[in-house]
Amino acid sequence: MVDIDSTCGRELDVLVAERIMDCKIDASRKAADGTPMMLLEVPRYSDNAAMARGIEFRLEQRHPGAVMRYESRSPYKVVLRGPSGREYAATGESEGTAICRAMLKTMEGEGPGLPREQVEPDRSPRALNAIADLLAARAQPHQPVVILAQAVALQKGEQKEGPARVLLQYAASAKEIVPVVAEQLTNPDPDVAALCRATLECLALAGEAARQALARPKI
């Protein structure tokens, strides 16, 4: 049993990725800081309040009726009330850490909730704001380049299945934010519009290459 209240940093991020986001962690591959890899790298949920709030919104979708409130901000203390009426409190020196701990406690107490594929899309203003915050928090300038590199590896490398599954996993996790990216194609800021266009183009190339690689019969 993991002591959630004493878990922090990258260990906490990995738990969120596994238990909240249903991500498969590849313990055999490590990031530069020694963290197990989840695609490119496990996001730093506990270090980024906007990202933690975005994930918490997804938890609410899987547990209809769940709601979060703040009780203090120095240190941060948040309480998640589950659909059952039980409350799960957690503290942390950072907002992200407190939210992550409360989410993990909620999942332990309330169960996994609705499967992600059964969650109905939510286009309400709050949902769009949560998705936009999550997108902004996860945005990395090099990400489209890495995605494109995976597509090139599929076309020119000898190993096809690994990169293909990586790209399809990314596509599955990114499908909810693609409409938000697409809406920014007409952004008056040319740099924002160009980045969004490049991201969508890379995803299209990667997705097609991944489908072709996985469709090939194994010898």
Question: In CATH, what number is assigned to the domain containing residue 43?
Answer: 3.30.2120.10
Q: Are residues 170 and 106 in the same domain?
A: no
Q: Are residues 88 and 19 in the same domain?
A: yes
| Count of the separate structural domains present in the chain | 2
Inside any domain, residue 127: no
Domain span at 170: 139-215
Contacting residues for 161 by C-beta, under 8 A, at least 6 apart: 213, 214
Inside any domain, residue 125: no
- Whole-number pLDDT of residue 68: 94
Contact 171, 199 (CB under 8 A): no
Q: Are residues 42 and 100 in the same domain?
A: yes
- Whole-number pLDDT of residue 105: 97
Contact 155, 163 (CB under 8 A): no
Phi/psi of residue 88, each to 5°? -125, 110
Q: Are residues 82 and 159 in the same domain?
A: no
- Whole-number pLDDT of residue 90: 97
Inside any domain, residue 92: yes
Q: Are residues 111 and 196 in the same domain?
A: no
Q: Are residues 102 and 152 in the same domain?
A: no
- Whole-number pLDDT of residue 172: 55
Q: Are residues 110 and 163 in the same domain?
A: no
Tens of pLDDT, residue by residue, the chain (219 residues): 789 999 999 899 989 988 888 877 766 666 667 766 554 467 788 988 878 888 888 888 889 999 999 999 889 999 999 999 999 999 999 999 999 999 999 999 999 888 877 877 676 767 766 666 665 565 554 455 455 555 666 666 666 666 666 565 555 555 555 666 677 777 776 766 776 777 677 666 666 666 666 665 554
Inside any domain, residue 21: yes
- Whole-number pLDDT of residue 141: 44
Q: Are residues 50 and 90 in the same domain?
A: yes
Inside any domain, residue 146: yes
Inside any domain, residue 37: yes
H helical segments located in the chain: 9-19, 49-62, 95-110, 125-138, 143-156, 161-174, 178-183, 190-215
- Whole-number pLDDT of residue 36: 60
Inside any domain, residue 124: no
- Whole-number pLDDT of residue 177: 57
Q: Could you tell me the pTM of the whole model?
A: 0.59
- Whole-number pLDDT of residue 202: 65
Inside any domain, residue 132: no
